[in-house]
Amino acid sequence: MTTWKIAAVQMDSRLGDVAGNRETMRRKLAEAAGNGAKLVVFPECAVTGYGHTSRAEVTKVAEPLPGPTCEVIAADCARLGVWCVFGLFESAGDKLYNSCALIGPSGFVASFRKIHLPCVGADRFTDPGDQPFAVHDLGGLKVGIQICFDASFPESARIQTLLGADLILLPTNWADQAMKMATWVPRVRALENHVYFCAVNRVGTEAGHHYIGYSSICNAVGDTLAAADHDGETILYADVDPAAARAKRVIHCAGEYEIDRVNWRRPDVYGPLLSGPVFDGHKQT
Protein backbone atom coordinates (compact mmCIF):
# COMPACT_ATOMS: atom_id res chain seq x y z
CA MET A 1 0.00 0.00 0.00
CA THR A 2 1.36 3.40 -1.02
CA THR A 3 2.66 5.80 1.63
CA TRP A 4 1.44 9.38 1.35
CA LYS A 5 3.55 12.44 2.13
CA ILE A 6 1.34 15.11 3.70
CA ALA A 7 2.02 18.75 4.54
CA ALA A 8 0.55 20.93 7.30
CA VAL A 9 0.84 24.65 6.52
CA GLN A 10 1.07 26.73 9.71
CA MET A 11 0.45 30.29 8.53
CA ASP A 12 -0.92 33.68 9.48
CA SER A 13 -4.13 34.99 7.91
CA ARG A 14 -5.21 38.60 7.58
CA LEU A 15 -8.73 39.31 8.75
CA GLY A 16 -11.06 39.81 5.80
CA ASP A 17 -8.27 39.83 3.18
CA VAL A 18 -9.58 36.99 1.02
CA ALA A 19 -7.49 37.85 -2.04
CA GLY A 20 -4.26 38.26 -0.06
CA ASN A 21 -4.77 35.11 2.00
CA ARG A 22 -5.62 33.15 -1.13
CA GLU A 23 -2.37 34.18 -2.81
CA THR A 24 -0.36 33.24 0.28
CA MET A 25 -2.01 29.83 0.24
CA ARG A 26 -1.22 29.34 -3.43
CA ARG A 27 2.47 30.03 -2.83
CA LYS A 28 2.62 27.64 0.09
CA LEU A 29 0.66 24.99 -1.81
CA ALA A 30 3.24 25.15 -4.60
CA GLU A 31 6.10 24.99 -2.09
CA ALA A 32 4.66 21.93 -0.35
CA ALA A 33 3.97 20.19 -3.64
CA GLY A 34 7.52 20.97 -4.76
CA ASN A 35 8.75 19.17 -1.65
CA GLY A 36 6.79 16.06 -2.55
CA ALA A 37 3.56 16.47 -0.58
CA LYS A 38 0.50 14.77 -2.10
CA LEU A 39 -1.94 16.28 0.41
CA VAL A 40 -1.59 19.86 1.72
CA VAL A 41 -3.68 21.10 4.65
CA PHE A 42 -4.27 24.71 5.71
CA PRO A 43 -5.76 26.12 8.97
CA GLU A 44 -9.36 26.85 9.84
CA CYS A 45 -10.57 30.04 8.13
CA ALA A 46 -7.27 30.40 6.29
CA VAL A 47 -9.03 32.24 3.47
CA THR A 48 -11.12 34.65 5.54
CA GLY A 49 -9.64 35.08 8.99
CA TYR A 50 -11.65 34.14 12.06
CA GLY A 51 -12.08 37.09 14.42
CA HIS A 52 -15.12 38.70 12.82
CA THR A 53 -17.45 40.50 15.22
CA SER A 54 -20.85 40.21 13.53
CA ARG A 55 -22.82 38.03 11.15
CA ALA A 56 -22.70 40.88 8.65
CA GLU A 57 -18.89 40.78 8.68
CA VAL A 58 -18.90 37.04 8.11
CA THR A 59 -21.38 37.43 5.26
CA LYS A 60 -19.05 39.85 3.45
CA VAL A 61 -16.22 37.30 3.22
CA ALA A 62 -18.26 34.10 2.87
CA GLU A 63 -18.59 32.29 -0.46
CA PRO A 64 -20.39 29.20 -1.75
CA LEU A 65 -18.76 25.79 -1.99
CA PRO A 66 -17.63 25.27 -4.62
CA GLY A 67 -16.93 28.92 -5.30
CA PRO A 68 -14.23 31.40 -6.36
CA THR A 69 -11.50 30.18 -4.01
CA CYS A 70 -12.22 26.56 -4.91
CA GLU A 71 -11.82 27.41 -8.58
CA VAL A 72 -8.42 29.00 -8.03
CA ILE A 73 -7.10 26.25 -5.75
CA ALA A 74 -8.53 23.54 -8.01
CA ALA A 75 -6.53 24.89 -10.95
CA ASP A 76 -3.37 24.74 -8.84
CA CYS A 77 -4.16 21.22 -7.62
CA ALA A 78 -4.69 20.05 -11.21
CA ARG A 79 -1.39 21.59 -12.31
CA LEU A 80 0.55 20.27 -9.31
CA GLY A 81 -1.20 16.90 -9.02
CA VAL A 82 -2.03 17.33 -5.32
CA TRP A 83 -4.96 17.35 -2.90
CA CYS A 84 -5.73 20.30 -0.64
CA VAL A 85 -7.91 21.05 2.40
CA PHE A 86 -8.49 24.63 3.56
CA GLY A 87 -10.86 26.57 5.81
CA LEU A 88 -13.20 29.46 4.99
CA PHE A 89 -16.73 30.72 5.65
CA GLU A 90 -19.38 29.17 3.45
CA SER A 91 -22.59 30.88 2.33
CA ALA A 92 -25.49 28.56 1.53
CA GLY A 93 -28.77 30.39 1.04
CA ASP A 94 -29.45 32.25 4.28
CA LYS A 95 -27.02 30.03 6.20
CA LEU A 96 -23.39 30.70 7.12
CA TYR A 97 -21.00 27.88 8.01
CA ASN A 98 -17.45 27.60 9.25
CA SER A 99 -16.34 25.12 6.60
CA CYS A 100 -13.46 23.32 4.95
CA ALA A 101 -13.16 22.41 1.30
CA LEU A 102 -11.47 19.28 -0.03
CA ILE A 103 -9.99 19.80 -3.49
CA GLY A 104 -8.26 17.21 -5.66
CA PRO A 105 -6.46 17.15 -9.00
CA SER A 106 -9.87 16.76 -10.68
CA GLY A 107 -11.51 19.63 -8.77
CA PHE A 108 -13.86 20.08 -5.84
CA VAL A 109 -14.54 16.86 -3.94
CA ALA A 110 -16.42 17.67 -0.73
CA SER A 111 -16.97 20.14 2.08
CA PHE A 112 -17.23 19.82 5.83
CA ARG A 113 -19.22 22.19 8.04
CA LYS A 114 -18.06 22.66 11.63
CA ILE A 115 -20.47 20.75 13.84
CA HIS A 116 -19.57 21.90 17.36
CA LEU A 117 -19.54 25.69 17.77
CA PRO A 118 -17.84 27.40 20.74
CA CYS A 119 -18.75 30.87 21.94
CA VAL A 120 -15.71 32.60 20.46
CA GLY A 121 -14.77 34.48 17.29
CA ALA A 122 -16.98 34.22 14.25
CA ASP A 123 -18.47 30.94 15.46
CA ARG A 124 -20.81 33.12 17.52
CA PHE A 125 -22.48 34.15 14.26
CA THR A 126 -22.39 30.99 12.14
CA ASP A 127 -24.81 28.08 11.91
CA PRO A 128 -24.06 24.59 13.27
CA GLY A 129 -22.92 22.10 10.65
CA ASP A 130 -25.79 20.05 9.28
CA GLN A 131 -23.85 17.29 7.48
CA PRO A 132 -22.82 14.00 9.09
CA PHE A 133 -19.18 13.14 9.63
CA ALA A 134 -17.75 11.53 6.52
CA VAL A 135 -14.60 9.87 5.20
CA HIS A 136 -13.21 10.47 1.72
CA ASP A 137 -11.00 8.09 -0.25
CA LEU A 138 -8.29 10.03 -2.07
CA GLY A 139 -7.22 6.94 -3.93
CA GLY A 140 -5.69 4.72 -1.28
CA LEU A 141 -5.74 7.17 1.63
CA LYS A 142 -9.01 7.63 3.51
CA VAL A 143 -9.34 10.97 5.30
CA GLY A 144 -11.84 12.49 7.72
CA ILE A 145 -12.11 16.25 8.28
CA GLN A 146 -13.00 18.06 11.49
CA ILE A 147 -12.64 21.72 12.45
CA CYS A 148 -11.11 22.98 15.71
CA PHE A 149 -13.69 22.51 18.52
CA ASP A 150 -14.94 19.30 16.92
CA ALA A 151 -11.82 17.60 18.30
CA SER A 152 -12.92 18.39 21.85
CA PHE A 153 -15.49 15.62 21.47
CA PRO A 154 -13.96 12.13 21.22
CA GLU A 155 -17.08 10.93 19.44
CA SER A 156 -16.04 12.92 16.34
CA ALA A 157 -12.84 10.99 15.76
CA ARG A 158 -14.39 7.69 16.78
CA ILE A 159 -17.15 8.03 14.19
CA GLN A 160 -14.66 8.79 11.45
CA THR A 161 -12.52 5.87 12.57
CA LEU A 162 -15.52 3.55 12.32
CA LEU A 163 -16.16 4.94 8.82
CA GLY A 164 -12.67 3.81 7.84
CA ALA A 165 -10.47 6.89 8.22
CA ASP A 166 -6.71 6.34 8.03
CA LEU A 167 -5.99 10.00 8.72
CA ILE A 168 -8.04 12.69 10.50
CA LEU A 169 -7.39 16.29 9.51
CA LEU A 170 -8.07 19.12 11.95
CA PRO A 171 -7.74 22.64 10.56
CA THR A 172 -7.95 24.84 13.63
CA ASN A 173 -7.51 28.31 15.15
CA TRP A 174 -6.13 27.68 18.64
CA ALA A 175 -5.33 30.77 20.69
CA ASP A 176 -3.41 31.05 23.99
CA GLN A 177 -6.26 29.59 26.03
CA ALA A 178 -6.20 26.38 23.94
CA MET A 179 -2.67 25.27 24.83
CA LYS A 180 -3.86 21.95 26.27
CA MET A 181 -5.84 21.20 23.13
CA ALA A 182 -2.81 21.85 20.96
CA THR A 183 -0.37 19.83 23.03
CA TRP A 184 -2.53 16.92 24.22
CA VAL A 185 -5.46 16.22 21.95
CA PRO A 186 -3.79 15.28 18.63
CA ARG A 187 -1.75 12.51 20.24
CA VAL A 188 -4.68 11.23 22.31
CA ARG A 189 -7.10 11.10 19.37
CA ALA A 190 -4.47 9.29 17.29
CA LEU A 191 -3.76 6.76 20.04
CA GLU A 192 -7.31 5.96 21.06
CA ASN A 193 -8.46 5.45 17.46
CA HIS A 194 -5.25 4.05 15.97
CA VAL A 195 -5.30 6.61 13.15
CA TYR A 196 -2.95 9.31 11.94
CA PHE A 197 -3.96 12.77 13.14
CA CYS A 198 -2.91 16.08 11.59
CA ALA A 199 -3.72 19.30 13.49
CA VAL A 200 -3.02 22.46 11.48
CA ASN A 201 -3.12 25.67 13.49
CA ARG A 202 -2.46 29.29 12.53
CA VAL A 203 -0.17 31.91 14.02
CA GLY A 204 -0.33 35.67 14.44
CA THR A 205 -2.59 38.08 16.31
CA GLU A 206 -6.11 38.89 15.18
CA ALA A 207 -8.98 40.73 16.88
CA GLY A 208 -7.07 40.72 20.18
CA HIS A 209 -6.30 36.98 20.18
CA HIS A 210 -2.83 35.49 19.82
CA TYR A 211 -2.75 32.22 17.90
CA ILE A 212 -0.22 29.74 19.19
CA GLY A 213 0.84 27.49 16.34
CA TYR A 214 1.96 24.11 17.68
CA SER A 215 0.65 22.30 14.61
CA SER A 216 1.48 18.60 14.67
CA ILE A 217 1.21 15.33 12.81
CA CYS A 218 0.91 12.11 14.84
CA ASN A 219 1.05 8.48 13.81
CA ALA A 220 -1.43 5.73 14.66
CA VAL A 221 0.18 4.88 18.00
CA GLY A 222 0.26 8.49 19.22
CA ASP A 223 3.86 9.36 18.41
CA THR A 224 4.50 12.88 17.12
CA LEU A 225 6.02 12.68 13.66
CA ALA A 226 6.36 16.42 13.14
CA ALA A 227 5.67 19.45 15.32
CA ALA A 228 5.82 23.21 14.81
CA ASP A 229 7.03 25.88 17.19
CA HIS A 230 4.87 28.20 19.26
CA ASP A 231 5.08 31.06 16.76
CA GLY A 232 6.14 31.47 13.17
CA GLU A 233 4.99 30.25 9.81
CA THR A 234 6.26 26.86 8.68
CA ILE A 235 5.29 23.75 6.77
CA LEU A 236 5.38 20.35 8.48
CA TYR A 237 5.85 17.13 6.52
CA ALA A 238 5.24 13.51 7.43
CA ASP A 239 4.64 10.18 5.74
CA VAL A 240 1.30 8.45 6.31
CA ASP A 241 1.05 4.68 5.87
CA PRO A 242 -2.62 3.65 5.46
CA ALA A 243 -1.75 0.01 6.18
CA ALA A 244 -0.38 0.97 9.61
CA ALA A 245 -3.63 2.79 10.47
CA ARG A 246 -5.74 -0.18 9.40
CA ALA A 247 -3.85 -2.73 11.48
CA LYS A 248 -5.82 -1.89 14.62
CA ARG A 249 -4.48 -4.63 16.89
CA VAL A 250 -1.23 -3.62 18.58
CA ILE A 251 0.73 -6.72 19.59
CA HIS A 252 3.33 -6.15 22.29
CA CYS A 253 3.63 -9.85 23.09
CA ALA A 254 1.56 -12.31 21.05
CA GLY A 255 -1.18 -13.89 23.12
CA GLU A 256 -0.05 -12.13 26.29
CA TYR A 257 -0.20 -8.38 25.67
CA GLU A 258 -2.35 -7.25 22.75
CA ILE A 259 -4.47 -4.10 22.46
CA ASP A 260 -7.27 -3.15 20.05
CA ARG A 261 -9.00 0.07 21.05
CA VAL A 262 -11.40 0.01 18.11
CA ASN A 263 -12.62 -3.54 17.55
CA TRP A 264 -12.85 -4.38 21.24
CA ARG A 265 -15.41 -1.67 21.97
CA ARG A 266 -18.60 -2.53 23.91
CA PRO A 267 -21.39 -0.51 22.24
CA ASP A 268 -23.97 -2.44 24.26
CA VAL A 269 -22.99 -0.49 27.39
CA TYR A 270 -22.59 2.94 25.78
CA GLY A 271 -26.25 3.99 25.95
CA PRO A 272 -25.66 7.12 28.07
CA LEU A 273 -23.62 8.61 25.21
CA LEU A 274 -26.93 9.27 23.48
CA SER A 275 -29.36 9.62 26.36
CA GLY A 276 -27.36 10.70 29.40
CA PRO A 277 -27.87 13.81 31.58
CA VAL A 278 -26.52 17.22 30.69
CA PHE A 279 -24.60 19.20 33.31
CA ASP A 280 -24.52 22.98 33.38
CA GLY A 281 -21.98 24.03 35.97
CA HIS A 282 -23.08 22.43 39.24
CA LYS A 283 -26.64 21.93 38.10
CA GLN A 284 -27.79 18.74 36.41
CA THR A 285 -30.51 19.26 33.77
Write out pLDDT tens, residues 173-210: 999 999 999 999 999 999 999 999 999 999 999 999 99
Q: Euclidean distance between the first and final Cα of the chain, in Å? A: 49
- Give residue 275's pLDDT: 80
Q: Are 32 and 75 in contact (CB under 8 A)?
A: no
Share of the chain above pLDDT 90, in %: 93
Residue 272 is predicted with a pLDDT of 87
The sheet carrying 83-92 orders its strands as: 107-113, 95-104, 83-92, 39-41, 4-10, 234-240
Provide the pLDDT for residue 284: 44
Domains of the chain (ranges; CATH) run 4-284 (3.60.110.10)
Q: Which of 44, 57, 90, 206 is catalytic?
A: 44
Please determine, for residue 68, whether its predicted confidence score (pLDDT) is greater than 60. yes
The reported pLDDT for the residue numbered 282 is 47
Write the CB contacts of 14 (distance below 8 Å, at least 6 apart in sequence).
Answer: 20, 21, 49
Q: How far is CA 269 from CA 146, 158, 160, 274, 282, in A?
A: 26, 16, 20, 11, 26
Active-site option among 45, 148, 198, 218: 148
Predicted pLDDT at 281: 55
pLDDT-derived band at 140, boundaries 50, 70, 90: very high
pLDDT reading at 277 higher than 80: no
Strands 4-10 and 39-41: parallel
pLDDT value of residue 285: 44
Looking at residues 61-81, what average pLDDT do you find?
98
Residue 1: pLDDT band (50, 70, 90) is low
Quote the mean pLDDT of the chain: 95
Q: Indicate which residue of 114, 198, 206, 218 is catalytic.
A: 114
Contacts with 118 (C-beta within 8 Å, 6 or more apart), sequence order = 148, 149
Contact (Cβ atoms closer than 8 angstroms) between residue 101 and residue 65: yes
Q: Residue 280: its pLDDT value, please?
A: 64
Task: Tell me how far apart the alpha carbons of residues 267 and 80 are, in angstroms, rounded to a whole number.
Answer: 44
pLDDT per residue over 4-33, tens digit each? 999 999 999 999 999 999 999 999 999 999
For 233-275, write each residue's pLDDT tens digit: 999 999 999 999 999 999 999 999 999 999 999 999 998 888 8
More confident site: 1 or 32 = 32
- pLDDT-based confidence at 122, cuts 50/70/90? very high
Indicate if the pLDDT at residue 278 is higher than 80: no
Residue 87 has a pLDDT of: 98
Q: Is the pLDDT of residue 51 over 60?
A: yes
- To the query of whether residue 114 is one of the catalytic residues in this protein, the response is yes
How high is the pLDDT of residue 274? 84
